[in-house]
Structure 1
Amino acid sequence: MGKREPKRARRFVIGALAVVGVLVALAAAVPLVISPAVVKSRIVDQIAYWTGREFTFRGEPQISLYPYLTVRLNDAKLSNPEGMGDEPFIAVDTMTAKLEILPLFLGRLEFARFRLSNPRINLRTDADGRGNWIMAEGVIGSQMSKGDKEGATDEVDPPSPLADVRLGRMAIRDGIISYTDGRTGRKEELSKVVASFDWTRTSQMAAGDGSFIWRGEPVEFNGSVDAPLDL
């Protein structure tokens, strides 16, 4: 009995030292993985990979590690597709995102939730009726072209992009959504847009609620969409 106690003690010490070693290694890697330069590169590359469009923002990302990993971007813009003018598809004064930490060590972004403050979403159709909201390229474009033919766990080669786009909970505060029909010149605008959505990943249902002003009248909404990208 007496001989077993030292062995157990040694195993406990070795196990504890191993855990400490892993934690120290992670702590040493955090400044490299979560540095502003690395986060900026990952965000720009990942959103371009998802959408097939240029994503920019002003300055460096502002990073907070407490109480959770948060990244704040100023003056963020997602470009329109070619031939839709120089105006951005989406322009946001401030985008604040809560990121999952472990996926960053694997080189990818996963949002737990994010908030768009004062976003301006510019929807338009050209003279041929083509909408600028159609993502023809990138992972989302690939997913839209496949529609319901694949599921998130399908075994295909190359791997389905369905599992790659994780969004989380989205919130919009004081937004503007405008629509311009390039065929008729008709214009519409929703102002004071406030909305919250749960859209864990692009292959899943989106549900949410909110309100906006349309033609001077307040409108409230709530509901869900089974296939948001198809819509």
Structure 2
Amino acid sequence: MRRLLIALLVLVILVIGVAVLAPALIPTDLIRERTETAAQEALGREVTLAGDIRLQVLPQLQVRANDARIANAEGFGEEPFAEMQEMRVAVALIPLLQRQIEIEEF
């Protein structure tokens, strides 16, 4: 019983360690590219993330990006549909483990 508790404690510490270190280990260019692509697919419009990008793992897996723009639909002019100081995209964790991106919050 004691070994099981120690193993569970070690597992919890490892999970928390990965959650804390993951944002620092993943290159921001990769995060930017994947986030823009997922947002474009979800919205059907061009999405540009020009500012700083932050990855948050806990309590929810999400990306926060500053200076975000969503392009207007074709035929509606050159002005962006939306401009945001900060954009937040939260993704479901289980589909991500299966290499699928499912946006929970935008």
Both proteins in one fold, TM over 0.5: yes
Q: Residue 86 in 1 paired to residue 24 in 2? A: no
Matched residue, 2:86: 95
Matched residue, 2:15: 22
Partner of 1:97, secondary structure, is strand
What is the Cα-based RMSD across aligned positions, in Å?
A: 3.5
Partner of 2:51, secondary structure, is strand
Q: Which has the higher contact order (CA 8 A, sep 6+)?
A: 2
Tell me by how many angstroms 1:86 deviates: 1.8
| Paired letter, 1:82 | E
Q: Residue 40 in 1 paired to residue 7 in 2? A: no
More helix by share: 2
Please give the alpha-carbon distance, in whole angstroms, between the structure 1 residues aligned to 2:38 and 2:32.
10
Gaps of 5+ in 2: none
Tell me by how many angstroms 1:81 deviates: 2.5
| Paired letter, 1:19 | V
Contact kept? 1:40, 1:60, Cα under 8 Å: no
Identical aligned residues as a percent: 20
Change (3 A) 1:50 1:84: same
Please give the alpha-carbon distance, in whole angstroms, between the structure 1 residues aligned to 2:55 and 2:65.
8
Please give the alpha-carbon distance, in whole angstroms, between the structure 2 residues aligned to 1:54 and 1:98.
15
Tell me by how many angstroms 1:165 deviates: 4.8
What do the CA deviations read for 1:87-106 (whole angstroms, capped 9, x no partner)? 222233x1243746x63992
What do the CA deviations read for 1:170-225 (whole angstroms, capped 9, x no partner)? xxxxxxxxxxxxxxxxxxxxxxxxxxxxxxxxxxxxxxxxxxxxxxxxxxxxxxxx
| Paired letter, 1:73 | N
Tell me by how many angstroms 1:70 deviates: 6.7
Please give the alpha-carbon distance, in whole angstroms, between the structure 1 residues aligned to 2:95 and 2:21.
12
Instruction: Tell me the number of residue pairs that the alignment of Structure 1 and Structure 2 aligns.
Output: 100
| Paired letter, 2:64 | V
Partner of 1:42, secondary structure, is helix
Aligned positions of 1:64-79 closer than 5 A: 71-74=64-67, 76-79=68-71
